[in-house]
A and B are shown apart, each in its own frame.
Chain A
Amino acid sequence: MAPSKVVLRFPAAIADKPIIFHLVRDFDLMINILKANINPHKEGTMVLDVAGENVIEGLEFLRRQGVTVQPLTEEIVRNEERCTHCGACTAICPSGALYIERPAMLVCFDSEACVLCQLCVRACPVRAMEVRI
């Protein structure tokens, strides 16, 4: 069974190509965009709900285009005890879910905005960002 919910990561070089259009048209899929953070010339992320007969082929097509495809089965949480509010994750997080509140300079985590790319999980120096399955 192919996963119905997937997290896609688009490298900057292909962020402005009509990839999702081709996914829908060429593979006859129904998609529901749950979250998206796509900007021209920048790395982007998207959480998709995909349905149809050719889901596996469609996801394979995405991978061939250079898109990273991960099943959406997890949740990202912050260990509040460990977080030192350093800020190291804030310029890496592609969705703006991790951001600095000024002037307090405290780091906030908005899990609603998180697109589960997991970049922060390894980039956080004190391992405060955790994957919860």
Chain B
Amino acid sequence: MRGAERQVKKRRISLPDKTFQEINAKIKAGKAVVVTAEELIQLVAEKGVGRAAREVDVVTTGTFAPMCSSGAYFNFGHSAPRIKFHRLWLNGVPAYAGLAAVDAFLGATALPDEDPLNMNHPGEFRYGGGHVIEEFVAGKPIRLKATGYGTDCYPRREIETVITLGDLNEAVLFNPRNAYQNYACAVNTGPRTLYTYMGVLRPHSGNAHFSTSAQLSPLLKDPYFRTIGVGTRIFLGGGTGYVVHHGTQHFPGIPSLPADAPRIPSGGTLAVIGDLKRMSPQWLRGTSMLGYGATLSVGVGVPIPLLNEEICYYASRPDSDLYAPVIDFAEDYPNRRPGKLGMISYAELKSGRITLQGKEVPTAPLSSYSKAREICGILKEWIASGKFLLGEPVTLLPGPDAGIIPKTLEDRGPERRNG
């Protein structure tokens, strides 16, 4: 264990943990001390971890970035005569109707059937599921087209109509994987421009893209999942949401890092849910990644209660203590080969230039730091004014100690033999 962590552990013994109930009581009384992650960093630098942990009740974190594995499910109500959706399109984008007669799930990356995709590479992907969700939330009319096969109870075979969010019984944002804990810093050492989910990567390491809000990023601030779990109440798309599970591809294990770096995990994720009708298009933005596809940019904010000094210590780690793995998208990433370009701190990435293999490379984020900061501020205001209480987790999410090992999809051919 490293020095700072050991110190924290030792000092922790003398300080009784705060509880969610105690902090919620203070929030209701309007007496909770709430700071943003940026403010906590400042405070800890001035007063030390011990005093900051005693003085502060909640720290707010946030992120706003393209987040694949987002989507929404809807119940559209019944038409007369009734139809059981077999196929369904919203503004021409196919939604999954294999749930129930008039329930459907629209994924953020779904594309219209007639989209030229990457036929004319790089494809533009101007409109997809994420854009439909943004327009729904903005209150715009959405064209609904559905076909059915006709049953005795649902005789209708076709419907074309126009709906708005207000016409629906339920519209629920449900994102199976959001708020990625950490992300690669993407470069392209190859000879041609690459169009990736990490943006446009110029040849010969012409640029480097990264995509977390780092010192504001929710899961980098509670890397051991001491406070975040099923039932954590969050800021989601401008409204209120909840953590309902760990996200897909939840790999909270700890990679090796530079010798003096604090230990940070690689890739925990959150599955989150919230009422779409209470969200805002400012925080749910249809997004097009040139040559890659369409998706949704999502604003997520997570409050972290400072129950003890250890939690406060991790929540106060600045950009200079947080690292991203540098991944080459020319060969390594597409072929699922391990990266060999090392780790780089977010302080360096955010400076706008890094040195990679002796070459100076300009860097740029895909994740909006200024929007993340805005989310931290909004959530702070919600909590401080008593209108947002902490959700105490029913169970915490699996952390680095859970021993989760990533599984891969192996190419076994169509027939799988046992043994």
Give residues in A with beta carbon < 8 Å to B: 12, 42-43, 82, 84-92, 100, 102, 104-106, 119, 122-123, 125-127
The answer to whether B370 and A127 have CB atoms under 8 Å apart is no
Hey, which chain B residues are within 8 Å of A127, CB to CB? 126, 288
Given contacts A88-B364, A92-B207, A126-B287, could you give 14 more A-B pairs where the C-beta distance is less than 8 Å?
A42-B206, A43-B202, A43-B206, A84-B64, A85-B370, A86-B64, A86-B65, A87-B369, A89-B364, A90-B362, A92-B364, A104-B370, A122-B124, A125-B297
The answer to whether A91 and B364 have CB atoms under 8 Å apart is yes
Other-chain contact of A125, B289, B350, B352, B363 (Cβ < 8 Å): B289
Other-chain contact of B200, A42, A84, A92, A102 (Cβ < 8 Å): A92
Hey, which chain A residues are within 8 Å of B285, CB to CB? 82, 84, 126
Bound CA–CA A12/B203 (angstroms): 10
If the complex has contacts A100-B364, A125-B66, A127-B126, are A92 and B202 also in contact, measured as CB distance less than 8 A? yes
By the criterion of a CB under 8 Å from any partner CB, how many residues of chain B are at the interface?
36
Other-chain contact of B370, A12, A88, A105, A126 (Cβ < 8 Å): A105
The yes or no answer to B290 lying at the interface (CB within 8 A) is: yes
The answer to whether B290 and A122 have CB atoms under 8 Å apart is yes
Give residues in B with beta carbon < 8 Å to A: 64-66, 122, 124, 126, 199-200, 202-204, 206-209, 285-290, 297, 350-352, 362-371, 373
Least CB distance, A129 to chain B, in whole angstroms: 12
The answer to whether B286 and A126 have CB atoms under 8 Å apart is yes
Bound CA–CA A54/B331 (angstroms): 45
Which partner residue on chain A sits nearest B361 by CB separation? A91
Which partner residue on chain B sits nearest A106 by CB separation? B370
Least CB distance, B81 to chain A, in whole angstroms: 40
If the complex has contacts A84-B285, A125-B199, A125-B288, are A91 and B362 also in contact, measured as CB distance less than 8 A? yes
